[in-house]
Structure 1
Amino acid sequence: MRAIDAGILICVECHQLNRQIPDSVGQDCTRCGARVHARRTDSLRRTWALLVTAALMYIPANFLPIMTVYSLGKGQPDTIMSGVIELIHYDMVPIALIVFVASILVPTFKLVGLTLLLYSVERHQPLSARQRGWMYRFIEWIGRWSMLDIFVITILVTLVNFGSLASIEAGFGAVAFCSVVVLTMLAAVTFDPRLIWDNTESDSDHE
Structure 2
Amino acid sequence: MTDKAKQVQGKDNGLAPCKTCLKLCKIEDRQCQRCGTTISARDYTSVQKSWALLITAAILLIPANVYPITIMTSQGTMRQDTIFSGITHLVELELMPIAIILFTASILVPMLKIVGLSIYLCAISFRMPISKKNLMSGFHIIEWIGRWSMLDLFVISITAALVNMGQLLDAKPAPAATAFALVILLTQLAAKVLDTRLLWDRLELDNDTN
The match for 2:61 is 58
Contact 2:71 2:174 in 1 (8 A): yes
**Is 1:68 aligned to 2:71, yes or no?**
yes
Partners in 2 of 1:161 and 1:145 — Cα distance?
A: 25
**1:161 equivalenced with 2:168 (yes/no):** no
Please, which runs of 5 or more residues in structure 2 have no aligned partner? 1-7
Off by >4 Å, runs of 4+ in structure 1: none
Question: Among the aligned pairs, what percent are the same residue?
Answer: 42
Deviations 1:153-201 (A, max 9, x none): 222222222222111121110000000011001101011111111135x
Work out the number of aligned pairs and report it. Answer: 202
CA contact (8 A) 2:90 2:96 kept: yes
SS across alignment from 1:36: coil
Counterpart amino acid of 1:204? Answer: D
Match of residue 31, structure 2, among 28, 32, 47 = 28
Structure 1: tracts of 5 or more residues without a match:
none
What secondary structure is seen at the aligned counterpart in 1 of 2:103? helix
Q: How far apart, CA to CA, are the structure 2 residues paired with 1:31 and 1:206?
A: 33
Residue 123 of structure 1 deviates from its aligned partner by: 0.4
CA distance in 2, matches of 1:135, 1:205: 16
The residue that corresponds to 1:172 in the other structure is 175
Q: CA RMSD in A?
A: 1.7
Normalised by the length of structure 1, the TM-score is 0.92
Q: Secondary structure at the match of 2:110?
A: helix
Please tell me whether the aligned partners of residues 131 and 207 of structure 2 are also in contact (alpha carbons under 8 angstroms). no
Residues of 2 paired with 1:41 and 1:30: CA distance?
23
Letter in 2 for 1:84: I
Equivalent position SS for 2:94: coil
- Give the TM-score, by structure 2 length: 0.91
Distance (whole Å) between structure 1 residues aligned to residue 166 and residue 97 of structure 2: 23
Q: Are the equivalent residues in 2 in contact too, given 1:57–1:180 (CA < 8 A)?
A: yes
Any residues of structure 2 matched to 1:1-207 within 5 Å, and which?
1-21=8-28, 27-200=30-203, 202-204=204-206
- Classify the secondary structure of the residue corresponding to 1:69: strand
**Is the contact made by 1:64 and 1:172 (CA closer than 8 Å) also made in structure 2?**
yes
